Chain A
Amino acid sequence: MTTQAAPEAEAPVLSEPQRLGVKLFLQDQEMFDRDRMIELFHRWIQEDRLPGTLIDVHDYTHVPGGPGVLLVAHEWHLRTDEAGGRIGLEYELKREGTGTVAERLRGAVLSLLEAGAALEQDTSENNPVRLGVGEMIFRFSDRLAVPATDAAFDEITNELENLFSDIYGDTQFEFERVGHERGPLTIHAKGLGDGDWTVEGLVSGARPSAG
């Protein structure tokens, strides 16, 4: 069996990932409506609703567990990800990332929260879509920079604890490695306790100035 992940012994543990995904889940999975999302993403392109070079919208909802409805930008992909059978909104940095590992993590979380806030706001008038913000999935689709190893897991969770203390205050989070054993490093972060958070409210905490 070959895996092209970096062998643990020689790995430099971490460097800055070029690609990194963060996902929030839909509070009510039944609220997902393919046609509505396709229309919304096309409108976002018309309105330049999010920063970046927005290119096109793709429908992968025919693929179980797939990317769902995908908004492709030069710098990132945003999708109604269905991996693991739970629909959510996933932001994936694809290129042009800058800064340290911590800065990239913060940037990705902020971008996701901003996209999530836009989604909630733009669907608020009719059957509003709500995102749960008490848990997140992090996926590091850059095996060179972030190997799927225990050492990388430890380093990333340290960074996440720092980041989450800025965003969520004192709330404790537990971190669990999930996904396929040969897949990219994937971490499920789950808040302990019931915080009274909103997507909109968390955006300011994720901004670098607050950190």
Chain B
Amino acid sequence: MTTNGNAEVPEPHQWKDRLGSLLGGKLSREIDAFEGQIEQKREGKLSDEVFAEMRLRRGVYGQRYDNGQRHDGLSSRELDFPNAELTKGPGTLWDAPGMVRIKNPFGAMTADQMDVLADVGEEYADSILHVTTRQDIQLHFVHLEETPDLMRRLGAAGITTHEACGNVVRNVTACHLSGVCTTQTFDVTPYATAVSDFLLGHPDAQEFGRKVKPAFSGCADRPCGLVKMHDIGGIARVREVDGVQRRGFEFYVGGGLGAVPHQAALFDEFVPEEELLPLCQSISRVFAKLGEKDVRSRARLKFLVAKLGIEEFRRLVLEDREGLAHDPRWTAFLDDVHKGNDGPLWQIEGGNSFEASPEMEAWLGANVSSQRQTGYKVVMVYLPLGDITSDQTRGLADVARRFTGDTVRMTVEQNMALRWVRESDLPEVYQALVELDLADARAESITDITACPGTDTCKLGISSSRGLARTLMDHLDESNQELDEVIRGLRIKISGCFNSCGQHHMADIGFWGVSRKRNGYNVPHFQIVLGGQWSENAGSYGLAIVAVPGRNIPAATDRIIQHYVDQREGDEGFQDFIARVGKPAFRTLLQDLVEVPTYEEDRSFYSNWGDPREFTLGDMGIGECAGQVVSPVEFGLQASEREVFEAQDRLDQGDSSGAADIAYRAMLIAARTLAREKQSGLGEDPEEVVDAFKTHLFDTGLFHDPYAGAKFGTYLFRVHGEGKNGFEATPERARQRIEEAQLFIEAAHSYHVRTAEVLPV
């Protein structure tokens, strides 16, 4: 008993007791077991590594500063947590707030689930639900010890965090319009559900070296499913077989973004629906058996497919498929699929005429589209940077109950879609959304910017992706009224580092965060990426053209847009325009924006957007060195970057072999620049340069990235080896080499920043 004033009250009920009956035995036991593991870790009975994998598989992540170190703008400080000695992973403090990722297959939620998400977001996090580009929800600032209750509450509502992270099959994504889309071949929802259910916890999908991300799309042309950037993915197809219309999937494998993006390879033009689950099972088995396990940076499925070649990979998968023992679940779901569920969830009553205010007209134009079912609409709810409050979520749940037949889906552009809205209900829906501050008429426009968490919460963030996104939104808003329709439809996507969680490769205008040493200080920059294709399921990836200081990105964006407006021919699209004008023209256009004023002239260049602290890399907290202004190393690295740019240009002109050679040369220049500091008089012979780099920088571990380890250094050895062993430069392989050269040079910059910082002033 505890006392409340004078009155005695019983101990509070526990969520475990309260929700036990709603959870189901298996889930309840799993969460209890996780709670037991937390206790074991606290008692020192589990290693950091083992416990970290356990919590990651349950969607419980670390978050920035969880090593207990933070640079406060003046100095690096230790965060004084109560359990200072206790850890929840390697270098991760027990009390440090963390992130929880919640898996919602294809982003679907019921109104009841939204209520529970609102509750847990408010109680255990900061009252914000963050929608990710993979249709998940993330909560930030959650304490480890509160996660079992959080999971119980979600579990009781039919939501899981299980396998939201870790080296397993992640959330299965699918177009948010599935079932209601005007261009779909058929509704992929039941297939996405079946794959999600089948692979969750499947014994054949537990031994991967890295994660596997699946996606489904109802058609080939539009971007909602983004199949070609996923590890496995299917685009809906119908084929006539023996006079019968059969459903199936154009099936892709080995796509992915990350540091080196890969376009998925076509596995089969038509996988019949009954083969979908066994095929996914066999792919899992082959990946588990042959995928890289030790070198994390080469462990994604894309590397296995690239290594084996798609033909050999296909052969191995089909061979495995032959030997699989039959599982009734492979086809059990199809009975329900063929019962058909394409009809309206609501009946239409009354007419559709209504008067709309100018604001509502704008909203109708930007956020509302027609369903394939006459009289029904999809209403897109724009969420700024994917964020929605708990209060708004509850309110939106009310709207979903009242107007949608209880279906909401999150989108890969971090918005929420209300489906099955009767046209006649639009005025009321609009009014309800206005009251919730959720009727902003900018969904899927240039100011609906996608950004990864970046330096806000991600441990790997270099530049502030969300800070830049907020700035760009405000900046573009000011000129929004004058924006041409073609500009309005462009997409901007931002990542805080090369890992591309913000999907910058597929944007019309993409940015990813890098750091540059300028005037003796670290300066946050963004690489500008042009030429990506969002449509056709992420049809092609863009390439970086130049790194510009963060402060100059709004100006650079204006110039790119204005150049397009001024110079485009007729109805020329943005991608065509980029291809016609060529990247060198953009580099010239932006050249003066690359300059960084001195610290004394403008200190704002030395901070991230939205963060007044002086910029430091990774909050390492080592004092700044203002001793050098421009070093020979900076010159050398800039020279290597220019070579990369040449390589990109050569690739654009169709010369893959020339492009690959130049990219290799760029890596050698960067390696030599650094190695020459250790070995004066080092010549230009590639063998000598690689040897010197290996001896002085790689074998000593000096070049290793604090997070990625030896990864970037090994790129040089591999590319150098390829030169000796004969390299067949296909466009795809040349493009990859350019990306790797870029990352190697980035790592050289980081090395330079790290080592320059410890020089005495």
Contacts and interface: CB of A to CB of B under 8 A. Distances in A.
A66 B610 contact: no
Given A42-B613, A144-B13, A62 B384 contact: yes
Instruction: Determine which residue in A72, A74, A102 has the highest number of CB atoms from chain B within 10 A of its CB, and name it.
Output: A74
B353 to A, nearest CB: 30
B467 to A, nearest CB: 7
Interface string B78-108: 0111100000000000010100000000000
Interface string B2-31: 111100011111110011000000000000
Interface in A107-163: 141-145, 155, 159
Interface size class of chain A, counting residues whose CB lies under 8 Å from the partner chain: 35 or more
Contact of A38 (B5, B80, B391, B612): B612
A143 B122 CA distance: 11
Interface in B411-462: 437, 456
A14 B123 contact: no
Contacts of B258: none
A6 interface: yes
A165 to B, nearest CB: 14
Contacts of A4: 15, 18-19, 116, 119, 153, 156-157
Contact of A58 (B15, B80, B384, B456): B456
A62 B127 contact: no
B207 interface: no
Pick the most buried of A65, A72, A95, A100: most chain B CB atoms within 10 A of its CB: A65
A186 to B, nearest CB: 10
Interface stretch (B67-75, B524-532, B696-704): B67-75
Interface in B54-70: 64-65, 70
A56 B141 CA distance: 10
B79 A38 contact: no
Contacts of B275: none
Contacts of B72: 42, 45-46
B4 A100 contact: yes
B460 to A, nearest CB: 16
Contact of B70 (A3, A55, A182): A55
B115 A38 contact: no
B127 A12 contact: no
Chain A facing B: main interface SS: loop
Given A15-B9, A62-B473, A143 B126 contact: no
A1 interface: yes
Interface residues on B, range: 35 or more
A13 B126 contact: no
A66 to B, nearest CB: 5
B128 A63 contact: yes
Given A63-B128, A180-B394, A2 B470 contact: no
A56 B610 CA distance: 13
Given A2-B112, A62-B473, A72 B81 contact: no
Nearest to A84: B391
B82 A96 contact: yes
B548 interface: no
B212 to A, nearest CB: 32
A67 B390 CA distance: 10
Contacts of B166: none
A57 B126 CA distance: 12
A63 B473 CA distance: 13
Interface in B256-310: none
A77 B143 CA distance: 13
A2 B11 CA distance: 24
B12 A53 contact: no
Given A6-B18, A14-B9, A15-B12, A143 B123 contact: yes
Contacts of A184: 119, 122-123
A60 interface: yes
Interface in B354-400: 384-385, 387-392, 394-395
B115 A3 contact: yes
A56 B64 contact: yes
Contacts of B12: 12, 15, 144-145
Given A4-B156, A65-B392, A72-B126, A59 B119 contact: no
A192 interface: no
Contacts of B572: none
A53 B5 contact: no
A143 B18 CA distance: 12
Given A141-B122, A142-B123, A60 B387 contact: yes
Nearest to A14: B4
B123 A141 contact: yes
Kindly name the residue among A56, A65, A72 whose own CB sees the greatest number of chain B CB atoms within 10 A: A56
A42 B128 contact: no
A100 B4 CA distance: 6
B611 interface: yes
Given A42-B612, A63-B389, A143 B128 contact: no
Interface in A167-208: 179-180, 182-184
B95 A65 contact: no
Contacts of B111: 1
B70 A56 contact: yes
Contact of A101 (B5, B95, B127): B5
Nearest to A102: B5
B126 A100 contact: no
Contact of A182 (B2, B19, B394): B394
A6 B456 CA distance: 35
Contacts of B15: 4, 144
Contacts of B395: 180
Contact of A64 (B122, B390, B437, B466): B437
A50 interface: no
Nearest to B5: A102
Give the 10 A-B CB pairs with smallest separation, nearest first: A64-B437, A62-B384, A15-B12, A2-B112, A46-B72, A12-B9, A63-B387, A141-B122, A141-B123, A12-B10
17 contacts: A1-B115, A2-B112, A4-B19, A15-B9, A38-B610, A38-B612, A55-B65, A57-B611, A67-B128, A67-B389, A72-B126, A100-B2, A101-B5, A143-B123, A159-B5, A180-B394, A180-B395
Given A55-B65, A74-B82, 7 more contacts: A2-B156, A42-B611, A46-B72, A46-B74, A53-B79, A100-B5, A142-B123
